[in-house]
Amino acid sequence: MKVTVHVWRQKNASAAGKFVTYPMDDISPDMSFLEMLDVLNDRLEERGEEPVAFESDCREGICGNCSMVINGTPHGPMRNTTACQLHMRSFSDGEDIYIEPWRAKAFPPIKDLVVDRGALDRVIQAGGYISVRTGSAQDANALPIPKLDVDLAMDAATCIGCGACVAACPNSSAMLFTAAKISHLGLLPQGQTERMERVRNMVRQHDDELFGSCTNYGECQDACPKGISINFIGHLNRDFLKANFLKVKNPRREVESQ
């Protein structure tokens, strides 16, 4: 099949970027989207041109590296699918395909389609951890957890941190990402110790990274390659309210002499 790809080319963070058009004449519909880009890069290298920089690692939909907005949708037109799992048969013969990087102030550009998603890591560092006993591994099922809680926590934990939620959000908000990370720990008994600090610290970090604020559009859950529900944003909001108003801010106060 034939397609025309328009790729965002940008030398580095300070250079101005622009779209460059590459006609691709002999693309197999069975190629993955990234394989199509590999073919393009081979040709560019043969011609002595700079190949298109894009990220990929697992190419099986689990690492979250293959971040690119394809025809206006993060990871392309197919729902619940990462760009590496997308196939050229999802496009029609002769189609124009626009490929852009994630665009957000919190994701500074590095080169072409590659942006720095370190902001998401810093949100996790702010509270996405639990306290555990180190040493020999605990027996499996030593801690009974209701099946429904496990399933719900697992739904949140499927987040691969790709940043599609930010890329899709008209506000560039990372609420779905932050909410998924908060929920997958907060729904389990192991995550209770830091639960209230976690939500406050991670929301503060989210805001400090200059992500926008959520207006409940729902574009994030639609673009999420793992189909994570905005219901988790509701979990985050509830925990945030509890952490700010219901829990004692200074637990020491409870044991001070009276």
Partner 1 sequence: MNVSCEFYRSSVGKKVVVALTGAVLFLFVVGHMLGNLKTFMGMDPSGVHHLDMYAHFLREFMAEAMGHGNFLWLTRVVLLGCLLLHVVTVAQLQARSSEARPVKYKKQTLRASSVAARTMWYGGMLVFLFIVLHLGHLTLGSLHSDFVEGEVYRNVYIAFQNPLIVIGYFIAMCVLGFHLYHGVWSFFQTLGLDTPDRNCALRLVAKVASFVIVVGFLSVPLSLSLGLLPPPVGM
Residue 65 binds: one of ligand FES, partner 1, ligand HEM, none (C-beta under 5 to 8 A by kind):
ligand FES
Q: Which of partner 1, ligand FES, ligand HEM, none has residue 219 at its interface (CB below 5 to 8 Å by kind)?
A: partner 1
Instruction: Choose one: 82-90, 98-106, 120-128, 245-253; the region binding ligand FES (CB under 6 A).
Output: 82-90
Q: Binding marks (x or -) toward ligand FES, 44..63, rule CB under 6 A?
A: ------------xxxx-xxx
101 vs 212, beta carbon nearer ligand FES: 101
The DSSP bridge partners found for residue 97 are 5
Per the CB < 8 A criterion, the answer to whether 96 and 64 are in contact is: no
Residue closer to ligand HEM, measured from CB, 215 or 244: 215
- DSSP assignment of 74-119: ET-SSTT--GGG-BGGGS-TTEEEEEE---BTTB-EEETTEE--HH
Residue nearest to ligand HEM (CB): 215
- Alpha-carbon distance values, 213 to 12, 166, 175 (Å): 28, 11, 8
β-bridge pairing 95-100 and 3-9: parallel
> In the bound complex, what is the minimum distance in angstroms from residue 66's beta carbon to ligand FES?
3
Q: Is 159 in the site for ligand FES (CB under 6 A)?
A: no
Nearest approach, Cβ of 1 to partner 1 (angstroms)?
Answer: 21
Report 95-134 residues binding ligand FES (CB under 6 A): none
Give CA–CA dist 230/234, Å, rounded. Answer: 7
CB 61 to partner 1: min, Å: 20
- Return the closest-CA partner of residue 125 out of 174, 178, 173: 178
Residue placing its CB nearer to ligand HEM in the complex, 14 or 216:
216
Both tokens of 230, joined, read 């905005």
- According to DSSP, the residues that pair with 96 across neighbouring strands are 4
> What value does the CA radius of gyration of the chain take, rounded to a whole number of Å?
21
Q: Is residue 66 a contact residue for ligand FES (CB under 6 A)?
A: yes
Task: Examine residue 84 and tell whether it contacts ligand FES (CB under 6 A).
Answer: yes
Q: How far is the CB of 172 from ligand HEM (least distance, A)?
A: 14
What is the binding site for ligand HEM (CB under 6 A)? 215-216
Hey, what amino acid is at 169? Answer: C
Q: Which C-beta is closer to ligand FES: that of 50 or that of 57?
A: 57
The number of helices, as runs of H, and strands, as runs of E, in the chain is 8, 7
- Using CB under 6 A as the binding criterion, the count of chain residues that bind ligand FES stands at 13
**For residues 51 and 30, what is the distance between their CA atoms, to the nearest angstrom?**
22
Site residues (vs ligand FES, CB under 6 A): 56-59, 61-66, 82-84
